[in-house]
Amino acid sequence: MELLRLSKFKFQLQALIAETRHLKEKENSATEEIHLLVQKQKRNEEEYSRNLKELQSELASTNELCQKLERKVSYLQNDNALLENKQKELKETINRLLQYRENFLSAYEESTCDMKRAIETRDRKLTVLHEKINSHLTLFDSIEKEAFSIKQVVDNVECVVSEKEELGILFYSTKMAEQNGHYLCI
């Protein structure tokens, strides 16, 4: 029985040795697999770290770009507000200029109408004065003609009077001479 036990023990020992070898192979395989997994994990971590750094760099760059864009948007909003104010001021200025223009045109039209009325009144007065001057000139012409006629009549009368005076003087002289001669004869 001892032999049987010994053989059983030998068989168990061989089984244990085989199992130990198998376990050692498994352990070696597992260690190698763990070593490969650790290397793979390290590579993954390095790649993750590299990706993380790249992403952090991209994030920083993106944040910087966002800040720049926000500043630009702020500048553009300020510029837009300034432009809106300028546009509002320009509209007010244009409206004031249009109102001034309207007032000027209204005053100009009113002034033009007043001037037209004044010119028409002056033209009527000039026409009346022209007609009066023409009538006065016509009157002066007729007075001049009448004066000329009267002068001719007066000249004629003077001539007639002069002739009559001469005849009267001659007649008087003759009569006087006759009377003197009559006295002489007596």
Local confidence band at 174 (pLDDT 50, 70, 90 cut-offs): confident
More confident residue, 81 or 11: 81
In the predicted model, is pLDDT for residue 185 greater than 60? no
pTM over 0.75: no
Query: Rounded to whole angstroms, how far apart are CA atoms 186 and 180?
Result: 10
Please write down the HEC assignment for all residues of 87-114.
HHHHHHHHHHHHHHHHHHHHHHHHHHHH
pLDDT digits (tens, 9 = 90+) for 102-147: 998 888 888 888 888 889 999 999 999 999 999 988 888 888 888 8
Local confidence band at 186 (pLDDT 50, 70, 90 cut-offs): very low
pLDDT digits (tens, 9 = 90+) for 162-172: 888 887 777 77
Query: What is the percent of the chain where pLDDT is above 90?
Result: 41
pLDDT digits (tens, 9 = 90+) for 64-73: 999 999 999 9
104-to-79, 84, 98, 100, 117 alpha-carbon distances in Å: 36, 29, 10, 6, 19
pLDDT digits (tens, 9 = 90+) for 17-65: 888 888 888 888 888 888 998 999 999 999 999 999 999 999 999 999 9
In the predicted model, is pLDDT for residue 181 greater than 50? yes
In the predicted model, is pLDDT for residue 154 greater than 90? no
pLDDT digits (tens, 9 = 90+) for 41-52: 999 999 999 999
51-to-36, 41, 111, 127, 165 alpha-carbon distances in Å: 22, 15, 85, 107, 158
